[in-house]
A and B are shown apart, each in its own frame.
Chain A
Amino acid sequence: MATFEITTRSIKGDLKTDTMILNMGPQHPSTHGVLRLELVVDGEIIVDVIPHLGYLHRCFEKHAEQMTNYQQVIPYVDRMDYVAAMGNELAYVLAVEKLMGIEVPERVQYIRVIMAELQRIASHLLAIGTYGLDLGAFTPFLWCFREREKILDMFEITCGARLLYNYIWIGGLSHDLPSDFGKKLKDFLKTFPKALKEINDLLTYNKIFIDRTANIGVLPADVAINYGCSGPMLRGSGVKFDLRKNEPYLVYDRFEFDIPVGEGKMGTVGDCWDRYYVRVREMEESLKIIEQAWEQLPAGDVHAAIPKKARPPQGEVYFRTENPRGELGFYIISDGHSSSPFRVKARAPSFVNLSVLPEISKGYMIADLVAILGSVDIVLGEVDR
């Protein structure tokens, strides 16, 4: 009798289930850098995600204040988003030029556009390749890197560096384009669409990949705007906003290109597949921009005519450009009598995009978190600065 009672009590009684805390620690193959995610899970379902940052904090903003002139900050800016360094330099240099009121020659502007767009393609190739790698597709990663090598070769013959360039300087550039740049660029423009088609066949329309990414991590448009998301995250949610068209800088208003927007082709608008597909389509659009820029490239001198230790007037500027990861903004305050910046604040796109992660991953499974994190496309150098 007693055993019967105990059995029924343990079957009917309150089975206390608890949530488990799992640590996706700073060292992990799928977190794209040193990011610690504390997951509160109920079985396999995520209840909460608490990101812990700061593992790559290198006090960039304090360093910028110690530099003797604005030019010396450029290598530091490179190292924020080390995957897409040209974009960082461009944003900083344009902000400083706006503060100083400098107008750069046309050739410089066109070359800057070509470099920025090449960098966009290289960065998206890395994002797509590592996204496939996170989900278990080992091959597209290497095919993407094969194409990225060609772009890095072009950067290397121009400024000598493959990853961190120190190329875009205040008022101009550090080197002019070498003589074989045109040939390499034309070869790349010819072979890249084919390579992109191969990668698309393997990954983008693969049924397993779609199953893993469609309807996962849905980010509604108003939540995206409220959280300050930008770049492919915002465009993947259906908001047609691109700084190159809405607030054109350099000579972007002279080119014809389209802004791809997530339409929920394989699932809901704003899911991981949409963000991924926006990146794929953006690469095609960048190709168009590069072609047009190369045709219209004027001749001229690229070296700057301003002194190294320039003293901008007292004032402040907030300038933003479209980085591959989103909107990179620099808020620079100058106090008018010193040649070093008073305050440089970098508004990094990955920092703001990452803050939406807890919101969009509630209720999904642990395996989906990797897919969501890959589609946010963060670089920890930017997040932590």
Chain B
Amino acid sequence: MTANEIYEKIKTKFEDAIIEFKPDAVVEPYLEVKPDKIKEICEFLRDEPDLGFDYLMCLSGVDYANGTLGVVYHLYSMKHGHRFVLKVKVPIENPVVQSVESVWKSANWHEREAYDMFGIIFEGHPDLRRILMPYDWPEGSYPLRKDFQVPEFYNGMKVPY
């Protein structure tokens, strides 16, 4: 199935959750949806027999440098062999997205990494804590954000850079 057909199928059910569909994006088309409906859409994508997106290839956090954070989902169907891209954008003051951990278990660690690096809060995640940074890294300091400042002192030691 092509991206357009997949988009049509989603549109029939979740008309109000769609923000934008870009079929001519470089390199592949993507669909932007509302952050509080992402879990239902993902469940639909996984359970619908024609779509059958049972494999989450990648879940990335992005900082768009204009006051919004985003999460990008790359989905793949093992059964049918087609791909799809979903996007979600949230404001940086209140970055809350629904968690898709219950849909694909691989999202568990990916979402923890997105939280660790960007500070995106995933609602419904069973165990949202830092995964790559040490556990005593200061709260509110998210390394991959564009406005990240290296802390001057860490555990009493002066950071040389």
Contacts and interface: CB of A to CB of B under 8 A. Distances in A.
A160 to B, nearest CB: 30
Interface of A: 53-54, 57, 59, 61-62, 98-99, 223, 225-228, 239, 241, 246, 313-318, 320, 327, 329, 331, 333, 343, 345, 347, 351-352, 354-356, 359, 384-385
B78 A225 contact: yes
Given A226-B105, A315-B26, A318-B74, A53 B57 contact: no
A59 B72 CA distance: 20
Interface residues on B, range: 20 to 34
A343 B104 contact: no
A53 B105 contact: no
Q: Which of B106, B108, B117 lies at the interface centre, i.e. has the most chain A CB atoms within 10 A of its CB?
A: B106
Interface stretch (B1-9, B13-21, B33-41, B127-135): B127-135
Interface in B89-136: 104-106, 108-110, 117, 130-134
B25 A228 contact: no
B133 A57 contact: yes
Nearest to A332: B27
Pairs of residues from A and B, 3 with the lowest C-beta to C-beta distance, nearest first: A315-B26, A228-B106, A345-B60
A315 B133 contact: no
B132 A53 contact: yes
Given A227-B106, A316-B27, A54 B133 contact: yes
A140 to B, nearest CB: 32
27 contacts: A54-B130, A54-B133, A61-B117, A99-B26, A225-B54, A226-B106, A227-B104, A227-B105, A315-B25, A315-B27, A316-B25, A316-B27, A317-B27, A318-B58, A318-B74, A329-B57, A329-B74, A331-B72, A331-B74, A343-B62, A345-B60, A347-B57, A354-B109, A355-B106, A355-B108, A359-B105, A384-B132
Given A239-B78, A317-B27, A57 B144 contact: no
Given A315-B25, A352-B110, 7 more contacts: A54-B132, A62-B143, A226-B54, A228-B106, A313-B26, A318-B85, A343-B63
A220 to B, nearest CB: 13
Contacts of A351: 109
A316 B26 contact: yes
B81 to A, nearest CB: 7
A228 B55 contact: yes
Contacts of B42: none
A347 B114 CA distance: 12
A246 B26 contact: no
A329 B134 contact: no
A355 B144 contact: no
B11 to A, nearest CB: 23
Contact of B57 (A59, A98, A318, A359): A318
A10 B62 CA distance: 61
B104 A226 contact: yes
B109 A225 contact: no
Contacts of A352: 106, 109-110
A223 B104 CA distance: 10
Contacts of A355: 105-106, 108-109
B45 interface: no
B109 to A, nearest CB: 5
B56 interface: yes
A61 B143 CA distance: 10
B55 A98 contact: no
Contacts of A356: 105
A343 B69 CA distance: 12
A62 B105 contact: no
Contact of A327 (B57, B63, B108, B117): B57
A225 B110 CA distance: 15
A239 B74 CA distance: 20
Interface in B45-87: 54-58, 60, 62-63, 72, 74, 78, 81, 85
Contacts of A316: 25-27, 72
Contacts of B81: 246
Contacts of A227: 104-106
